[in-house]
Amino acid sequence: MPKTPANRIISTALKITEPKEKAQWDLSQTNTIKWDHVDSDPETFQLVLVNHKTGGEESFTIEDKVKTSDGEYKLTNFVAAPGSTYSIKAYGTEKTNNGQLAESQTFNVTKSGVAATTTTGTATAKPTSSGTPASSSGASPSETSNAATALGVTFGVAGPLAAVFALLF
């Protein structure tokens, strides 16, 4: 239980009610974390996914400032390895109400979400029968522009580097 600076114990009533014991969660889909609360609970708290695997806990922050009054949180496309030893923990983040507030029952993660990726594309101009360039990537020039083309400089791989130096000097 959290303690105040005067080392008084504060009783919280925050209770994570979902996920239930042995629930099956596919983290590539939307899953709902639910909790009950009372007025004396903190306004916000941190939600953490914890894998109680052999060799120690592995924690993944879900959200730093969840509104207690919301009573639920929708978790979508979260990346964590499949396993059967997961729980959700709630941590207080206020000076007078910090530390672990609640923990869900143990549940299973059957599938991980997909990590977000950033892709960058390049386009090369190829002459067409009309003599005007066409993009080989199929993207419009506005979708493939970069700092080099914004400065009117286009020379392959060195273009972005030249643009950076041009902007710095």
- Residues above pLDDT 90, as percent of the chain: 54
| Mean pLDDT score, 131-159 | 42
- Predicted local distance difference test score (pLDDT) of residue 15: 97
Closest among 3, 11, 8, 76 to 37, alpha carbons compared: 11
- Predicted local distance difference test score (pLDDT) of residue 117: 78
From residue 135, give the alpha-carbon distance in Å to each of 87, 128, 161. Answer: 49, 10, 21
Q: What is the pTM of this model?
A: 0.63
- Predicted local distance difference test score (pLDDT) of residue 88: 98
14 against 152, higher pLDDT: 14
